Structure 1
Amino acid sequence: MEYWDVYDVERIKTGRTMTRGDAFQPGDFHLVVHVCLFNSEGKMLIQKRQSAKVGWPDMWDISVGGSALKGDDSQGAASREVQEELGLTLDLNNVRPNLTINFENGFDDIYLLEKDVNLNQLKLCPVEVQDVDWASREEILEMMKKRIFIPYFPSFISLLFDMRQHMGAIRQLEKG
């Protein structure tokens, strides 16, 4: 059973918890994290969700994602999810998320990290992940058209690729 901290609209923990699957009370929110790993070639590590997963079974997804558990902060939840799903240890202490997206019942912190990872050395969680691969923006967008990748907004996928080496929403212009 999974327990989540309950947050208010200002993203402050209320001191209450809820169980995954319980109905949200008005004004209650929870924290979700996603980690997108990019290699030095600019490709994103993608994962194929297991057949038994609730929500988007057998579909490809961005690198890692999941809910923060009771007691987790954003960085701890992101590190834990990467470890659980891929068997990869990352220290995200003092790392801020590149993006936070608000959704109906919570906050989704998104970390964009560059790390060359040998896919053969990952230890995939057998109940969550059935496969991993590296994919370019164009390959992911094509997978979305074929309905084999979770149907994110295409502009969101492009934003992840555009922001992967930058904080903030302003492009750095080349001097000269």
Structure 2
Amino acid sequence: MEEQVVLVDEKDNAIGLMPKMEAHEKAVLHRAFSVFIFNSKGELMLQQRAAHKYHSPLLWTNTCCSHQRDGECNIEAGKRRLQEEMGFVTEIKEVFSFIYKAPFDNGLTEHELDHVMVGYYDEKPEINKDEVQDYKWMTLADVKSDIKKNPQRYTEWFKIIFDKSYEKLVHA
């Protein structure tokens, strides 16, 4: 069965479920999360999406992101996806949430109430090659500079989140 996303209103009240692809085809607002993992040097772990992803293949993005399952809290969802994609779990905390809308060339649209979470980890991840092509650590200043020079290397949602949350991430 296709993964279901939790449909929400602007106040994050659940109002139903919908298959993930249908929600992205219809641009329906749904709950999502984005995890940003930092090391003790203050560098952000970025992931490069796997080549076979249905959108944004091989683009760089935050450590991991996905959708909460029905009845799953934000922190549980973030930890689950960290394990599934990056092969580790660490403590994370939610720092803020916001709504964004990002259309893609393939006709799909991300329209999400995104819960942004932050955690810390200093080890090497065990990436899941079905989900992640590669990873790297970068300072926030270097990420900001590279997005400005090479925006085509990054996912649309990461550029939106990074722009909206740069100051919050620096002080997280």
TM-score when normalising by structure 2: 0.78
2:68 corresponds to: 68
Q: CA offsets per residue over residues 52-110 of structure 1, 9 Å max, x none?
A: 11222111111111111222221111111111111112355xx4x10101124331000
In structure 2, C-alpha distance between the alignment counterparts of 1:163 and 1:140, rounded to whole Å: 16
Change over 3 Å in CA distance of 1:137–1:91 after alignment to 2: closer
By percentage of residues, which structure has more helix? 2
- Please say if residues 56 and 155 of structure 2, whose CA atoms lie closer than 8 Å, have aligned partners that are also in contact: yes
- Please say if residues 5 and 23 of structure 2, whose CA atoms lie closer than 8 Å, have aligned partners that are also in contact: no
Change over 3 Å in CA distance of 1:46–1:157 after alignment to 2: farther
Letter in 2 for 1:150: T
Letter in 1 for 2:121: K
By percentage of residues, which structure has more strand? 2
2:7 corresponds to: 6
Q: Of residues 90, 100, 103 in structure 1, which corresponds to 2:100? A: 103
Change over 3 Å in CA distance of 1:91–1:43 after alignment to 2: closer
2:106 corresponds to: none
2:166 corresponds to: 158
- Please say if residues 31 and 74 of structure 1, whose CA atoms lie closer than 8 Å, have aligned partners that are also in contact: no
Runs of 4+ in 1 over 6 A off after TM superposition: none
Q: CA offsets per residue over residues 5-32 of structure 1, 9 Å max, x none?
A: 2223332223x311111147x9x63211
- Please say if residues 48 and 59 of structure 2, whose CA atoms lie closer than 8 Å, have aligned partners that are also in contact: yes
Change over 3 Å in CA distance of 1:87–1:74 after alignment to 2: same
Say whether 1:34 aligns with 2:34.
yes
Letter in 1 for 2:140: R
Change over 3 Å in CA distance of 1:161–1:6 after alignment to 2: closer
Q: CA RMSD in A?
A: 2.6
Percent of aligned pairs sharing the same letter: 19
- Please say if residues 90 and 119 of structure 2, whose CA atoms lie closer than 8 Å, have aligned partners that are also in contact: no
In structure 1, C-alpha distance between the alignment counterparts of 2:11 and 2:70, rounded to whole Å: 18
Change over 3 Å in CA distance of 1:86–1:65 after alignment to 2: same
In structure 2, C-alpha distance between the alignment counterparts of 1:156 and 1:23, rounded to whole Å: 24
- Please say if residues 112 and 160 of structure 1, whose CA atoms lie closer than 8 Å, have aligned partners that are also in contact: no
Change over 3 Å in CA distance of 1:68–1:41 after alignment to 2: same
Q: CA offsets per residue over residues 30-63 of structure 1, 9 Å max, x none?
A: 2111110111111001111111112221111111
In structure 1, C-alpha distance between the alignment counterparts of 2:46 and 2:112, rounded to whole Å: 24
